[in-house]
Structure 1
Amino acid sequence: MEASMKLGPHRLILNILDQLAQSEPDKVYAELPISLTDFSAGFRHITYRVLDNAVNGVAWWLTETLGPAQDFPTLAYVGPNDLSHNLLLLGAIKAGYKMLFFWPRYSTEAQVRLMKAVDCQNILTSSVSSPLSQLVETIAKEHGSAKVTQIPELASFFDDKHQVFPYKKSFEEARGDPLVVVHTSGTTGFPRPIIWNHDWAASFAYQRYLEPPAGWESIDRLILGRRVLSLMPPYHASHLFASILFTFYCGNTCIYPPALALPTAQIAAEASSYTEVKAITVVPPHIEQLGANTELLDTLVRNGAETVFWAGGPVSSAAADAVSSRLKLFNTCGSTEMGMWPVIRKSGPWDPSISRYMCFHPQANVQLRPQSENVFKAVVVKNDSDTEIQPPFPIFPSITEYDSGDLFSPVAEPDKDYLWSYVGRSDDMQVFKNGLKWHPTAAEQKIISDNRDVIQEALLDGTNHAHVVLLLELVSEFSNKLAALPEGEQAKEKAAILDGIWPTIEGINRVAPDWVQIDRQRVVFAEPGKPLARTAKGSIRRLFAVTDYKSQIDDVLESVGVKSEA
């Protein structure tokens, strides 16, 4: 275990930073690509001494530019994938502010709602010119009273010598103070702000320190104290796990992709060719990319990568099997309120077949409660003893149970009856007009994985309908080809596409309940330039996707004699 872990979780991140800057000043906190677009220029190594100096610089700049803070006012920021998010987060804590990070693909209305929910009157923007710059102006205009301020270049914080900004609080004094404003994914509605406090961070860290029961091993130890490439979105809670909580509490070094490059599996392979990468944290689409490209897997293995961790939703069995045959692949659930759930495995040689399954540490006290046939909801029940290892309760101290909304099915394979398979969100549960329920995620994943050369996304919508409707988003090659055809030829091409995927549909229909039968007449194709709405981690925002295509869904149902009652 890393020395930093042995010191325990009940420490403020700023105090850990000060301690590391003095005791291990040359220890590398993060590696940043010098180029904004690729790895060709190498990396800048940010040590704890450099980071401590830069955080002081940010705290002084915030105070001098926006004034001394009282009662932790909120500052919003949107910018490229560099270290600005973390510098602002840490500098804001020192200066008495708190940060809110936007997801650029949220609507302007969603961004403004988030700002107003936490009384945010200031938006900070990067000095690096990018498409995000215009987004800031749009949000500020829609907000009506928000002030926009550009932060200095990162180099000025790193390279200039800054006076120490005083911060004297102990953990007990500051445990209830805000750490950062994060937000829910907005899968089924507008994202909601959640304020992490320092108590929450300590609780998250405590879960990483938990010793497993006898005969078991903690799986997250595979990525703790390691050199980890984070392909998680910089504005998302998952990246804060990798770049703040794992680094300060667990001794990780965080490796960044190029600031203006789209994070992909290809980027991961390229990074491993330029610097040592032992573990990679990714979202579900990256697993699909790796699973479909043996060359990328070969590169990662050849360059010494050992572990891939993903979170944010299910992946296809084909992709998971392909990746786990070469690397130690694992997943767990994560959420804004809960953090990263502690998962364990039976001791012994690594078993690649468990990569898509989970077993929760007993001290997390996760209860699986039945919802429908073979589907269970995970509920976190507050421990009787005050062990402070359950992150939801520092945020919601008055509750005794936290309903995660995550659904699981027990694994029926021999010798794996202690494992659970992630099904999806309870919000995704389809409730048909007849009141019967069905969860579509497994079927959707099957359609995608069996037809990945044609199908980008598949969504099954049955809520308030008598029958299910299949919404298909094609890969760009087929979508563009389809859009270029005359209307009559489009119909023929769509029929050919359905012919190609229909063996998969027939297989789903054979095992699906009789009220869930997919029919060719109830298929809607997503339009080019109008992809299905997605969360920051790449999963579908079901409510928004269905709303975007409501008129097409209604037309399809009406054409076969069924009217929607959504």
Structure 2
Amino acid sequence: MAGNTPPSPAPKMKGMRTLMETLLALAKTQPLRIYGSYPLTDDVKDGFRDFTFSELVDAVDRCAWFIRGSLGMSQSYETLLYQGESDFRYTIVLFAAIKCGYKTYYQNPKNPLEENLAMLDDIDCSKALYSVERKELIDQYQLARPRLEAFQIASLHELFQSSRVEHFPWERKPWEEAKHDPIIVLHSSGTTGPPKPIVYQNGALKGLDTAWPDDAGAMRLFDSLDGAFVYGPFPAFHLGGFHFNSVMPIFSRCAMVMAPPASLPAQNGPLALHIIKVKHVRMLCAPPVLLTEISRCEGGIDTLAGLSCILYGGGPLRSALGDELTARGVKLVSIYGSTEANWIPSLSPTREDWEWIQFHPEAKVAWARLDESSEMYELCFKDEGPIINERRATHWTLKVDEWRSKDLFIQHPSKSYLWKYIGRRDDILVLENSAKVNPIPVEDVVHAHPLISGAMMAGEHRWPPCFLIEPREHIADVESFRRNIWPIIEEANELVRKDNRVPFQNVIVIWPGGFERSPKGGIMRHKSARKMADLIAGLYS
């Protein structure tokens, strides 16, 4: 909220400071420290612009004055939608909105219009900012919701103009008061149902910033970079984009570099390699699909081996690829998080345990076996009292201290403290013969084929299961293509019982780009299954 006093320095106690006050304190004490870097044009060969903490705060103030002049100040943490290109304006709007008393709402522009409008209604959002690239979308919003006030903001280059701007006042609150203030609204992926808005208060970031006991783990890897660049090609509206663009440069010692918005960076191997080389990136944070694409590029694995480490998450990484990367000197660290739970702290694994996660013991993760005969467990939280509960984002986002994630893991056969993510409860296929099949490892084998862009096992409540195959290019001779890829499907079939394997006649070749995909590039199983429902039904009829 606005005030008449200049910002005070941020408190030194980690886990008891807000993003806003920490940003302002760093801009005051380390004004020339690099915060981030963005491409000058859509072509990364034209170069990048680095910007400092001081320059970011100037851009925030410039945007805050615009918000105050166009929408006014908020006295009740109203929701301010931002729809824009995937760039650092998401960070600028976030902090400018906080200064003006709003909480910012990030939406995936590729969601169906009806879903996004329903979420606007859910959180009573009637004000918006947008970049010029999203004007047509905002016009559709306003046609359906006439009460929505919307204003176009300046370009990223204009917000970072060199001229000084008048300081926009903001008053720091004590942590015990500030921890309850809402700052941002994200939304669930919508993988298994309509997406839902999730409000983050300052307290929801406490676990990210807490100095965990004896922590030499993944959370502190960012501090070891000592200001070097990290590349995290997640969309800016996504939880990963929020983390890497707006949280980690402030709460740790790293700087972020972003890719051109239109380049599909989460799936673009050559682009990632170029950015890593020209910006001297030290750490990569990536979804598994990007590691697959980089590994297919000439010299890609050697470039990855030169990084201090790679954090990957959002889904399992194919074991054969991970083993190859590790054998060639790549340091892999598996991480886990969700929009509801944020990033759950973990310790760094040994090289041979790259695909396993050791959750920090102070996080107090609990486990629920899927059923009595299963080796799969669901990650859970139990009520552990206020000190532990407040470190968990679910305490703030869902207002619960008991929580079931619907995410499934298996326990290491000899190291009971290690767990491997294998998929969602919703991913498990229940076949007509009552068998339960985890399709993820089977699909990962098939996806390794160079002619295949995506593979999805299907056949819920039918038997035997089927495979939907998305080729990289248009296929003129489908039967020849099926024969070509059949050996790798046979290899994948070895991972399941004989009576639950996919027969040759149950291989369906769809069209390039046919699957519904998440912002991280992964296949959205349930939306894709609904889209392909007629194809699947036709096979079994």
TM-score in same-fold range (> 0.5)? yes
Measure the CA separation in 2 of the matches of 1:518 and 1:22: 62
* Residues 504, 5 of structure 1: alpha-carbon distance in 2 compared, 3 angstrom cutoff: farther
Note the alpha carbon deviations across 1:41-68, whole angstroms, 9 max, x for none: 3x32221111112212211111110122
Q: Structure 2 counterpart of 1:288, which letter?
A: T
- Checking the alignment, whether the CA contact within 8 Å between 1:290 and 1:319 is kept in structure 2 is no
- Checking the alignment, whether the CA contact within 8 Å between 1:338 and 1:391 is kept in structure 2 is yes
Shift of 1:251: 2.5
Shift of 1:144: 4.6
Match of 1:534 in 2: 517
Match of 1:211 in 2: 213
Measure the CA separation in 2 of the matches of 1:269 and 1:62: 38
Match of 2:505 in 1: 521
Q: Note if 1:224 corresponds to 2:223.
A: yes
Q: Structure 2 counterpart of 1:336, which letter?
A: T
Q: Note if 1:16 corresponds to 2:13.
A: no
Q: 2:104 aligns with which of 79, 83, 99?
A: 99
Q: Note if 1:265 corresponds to 2:269.
A: yes
* Residues 411, 19 of structure 1: alpha-carbon distance in 2 compared, 3 angstrom cutoff: same
Measure the CA separation in 2 of the matches of 1:313 and 1:473: 19
Q: 1:319 aligns with which of 300, 318, 321?
A: 321
Please state whether the residue corresponding to 1:257 is helix, strand or coil.
coil
- Checking the alignment, whether the CA contact within 8 Å between 1:461 and 1:470 is kept in structure 2 is yes
Note the alpha carbon deviations across 1:192-232, whole angstroms, 9 max, x for none: 110000011123322xx21337xxx4133223353211211
Match of 1:490 in 2: none
Identity %: 25
Q: Structure 1 counterpart of 2:509, which letter?
A: F
Q: 2:85 aligns with which of 76, 80, 86?
A: 80
Please state whether the residue corresponding to 1:386 is helix, strand or coil.
helix
Match of 1:166 in 2: 169
Match of 1:240 in 2: 242
Measure the CA separation in 2 of the matches of 1:6 and 1:93: 21
Please state whether the residue corresponding to 2:200 is helix, strand or coil.
strand
Measure the CA separation in 2 of the matches of 1:108 and 1:225: 42
Match of 2:376 in 1: 375
Q: Structure 2 counterpart of 1:498, which letter?
A: R
| Residue segments in structure 1 that go unaligned for 5+ positions in a row | 486-492, 559-566
* Residues 524, 135 of structure 1: alpha-carbon distance in 2 compared, 3 angstrom cutoff: farther
Match of 1:51 in 2: 56
Q: 1:112 aligns with which of 112, 117, 121?
A: 117
Note the alpha carbon deviations across 1:15-60, whole angstroms, 9 max, x for none: 112211211111111122222331433x322211111122122111
Q: 1:552 aligns with which of 517, 521, 535?
A: 535
Measure the CA separation in 2 of the matches of 1:345 and 1:60: 43
Measure the CA separation in 2 of the matches of 1:63 and 1:295: 50
- Checking the alignment, whether the CA contact within 8 Å between 1:381 and 1:402 is kept in structure 2 is yes
Please state whether the residue corresponding to 1:357 is helix, strand or coil.
coil
Alignment of 1:439-478 (within 5 A): 439-449=438-448, 451=449, 453-475=450-472, 477=473
Q: Structure 2 counterpart of 1:45, which letter?
A: D
Alignment of 1:92-491 (within 5 A): 92-127=97-132, 130=133, 132-159=134-161, 160-170=163-173, 171-206=175-210, 209-212=211-214, 217-226=216-225, 227-263=229-265, 264-301=268-305, 305-324=307-326, 325-345=328-348, 351-372=350-371, 373-384=374-385, 386-387=387-388, 388-397=390-399, 399-412=400-413, 416-449=415-448, 451=449, 453-475=450-472, 477=473, 480=474, 482=475, 485=476
Measure the CA separation in 1 of the matches of 2:496 and 2:81: 46
- Checking the alignment, whether the CA contact within 8 Å between 1:38 and 1:261 is kept in structure 2 is no
Q: 1:29 aligns with which of 13, 27, 35?
A: 35
- Checking the alignment, whether the CA contact within 8 Å between 1:444 and 1:460 is kept in structure 2 is yes
Q: Structure 1 stretch 318-327 or stretch 244-253: which is displaced more?
A: 318-327
Measure the CA separation in 2 of the matches of 1:38 and 1:5: 38
Shift of 1:400: 2.8
Shift of 1:133: 4.0
Q: Structure 2 counterpart of 1:462, which letter?
A: G
- Checking the alignment, whether the CA contact within 8 Å between 1:407 and 1:425 is kept in structure 2 is yes
- Checking the alignment, whether the CA contact within 8 Å between 1:5 and 1:249 is kept in structure 2 is no
TM-score when normalising by structure 2: 0.90
Q: Structure 1 counterpart of 2:471, which letter?
A: L
TM-score when normalising by structure 1: 0.87
Q: Structure 2 counterpart of 1:246, which letter?
A: M
Note the alpha carbon deviations across 1:466-505, whole angstroms, 9 max, x for none: 4312111111x2xx2x2xx4xxxxxxx3222222333333
Aligned length in residues = 522
Q: Structure 2 counterpart of 1:93, which letter?
A: I
* Residues 322, 220 of structure 1: alpha-carbon distance in 2 compared, 3 angstrom cutoff: farther
Note the alpha carbon deviations across 1:351-401, whole angstroms, 9 max, x for none: 43222221111111112221142211111223235143222112233x332
* Residues 68, 353 of structure 1: alpha-carbon distance in 2 compared, 3 angstrom cutoff: same
* Residues 225, 119 of structure 1: alpha-carbon distance in 2 compared, 3 angstrom cutoff: farther
Measure the CA separation in 1 of the matches of 2:319 and 2:140: 41
* Residues 134, 157 of structure 1: alpha-carbon distance in 2 compared, 3 angstrom cutoff: same
Shift of 1:72: 1.7
- Checking the alignment, whether the CA contact within 8 Å between 2:204 and 2:391 is kept in structure 1 is no
